[in-house]
Amino acid sequence: MLLKARQDLGSLASRMSRIFAISDIHVDIPENLRLVESWSTSEFQHDVLIVAGDVTDNMALLKTVLKSLTEKFYKVCYVPGTVPCF
């Protein structure tokens, strides 16, 4: 079992080249949304993105942005901020 876990970890490490972290991107601000939308759909395919903090208080926009990011990055980890989103 440990050998399998090591193989899986090695496989992930060989695909993942970088870890990026961003916070409080507030995509309700049009300029911020345009910036996020402008990121390459191919350049980050082996990378992990940590999105922390406030993204938006609009649930539909949050879903759209997170979906877009998951299409650009290998993995996306989202940690909500203090802006209520309900």
The domain ranges of the chain are 16-80
The pTM (predicted TM-score) of the whole model is 0.77
DSSP state of 75: E
> Please, which residues bridge with residue 53 across strands?
80
The helix (H) or strand (E) run that includes residue 61 is helix 59-72
Residue 74 phi, psi (nearest 5): -65, -45
Residue ranges with strand state E in the chain: 19-23, 48-53, 75-80
- pLDDT per residue, tens digit, the chain (86 aa), is 555 655 666 666 666 589 999 999 999 999 999 999 999 999 999 999 999 999 999 999 999 999 999 999 999 999 998 866 55
pLDDT value of position 54: 95
pLDDT value of position 17: 87
pLDDT value of position 82: 85
Question: Which sign, positive or negative, has the C-alpha torsion 61, 63, 64, 66?
Answer: positive
> Residue type for 12, please?
L
pLDDT value of position 56: 94
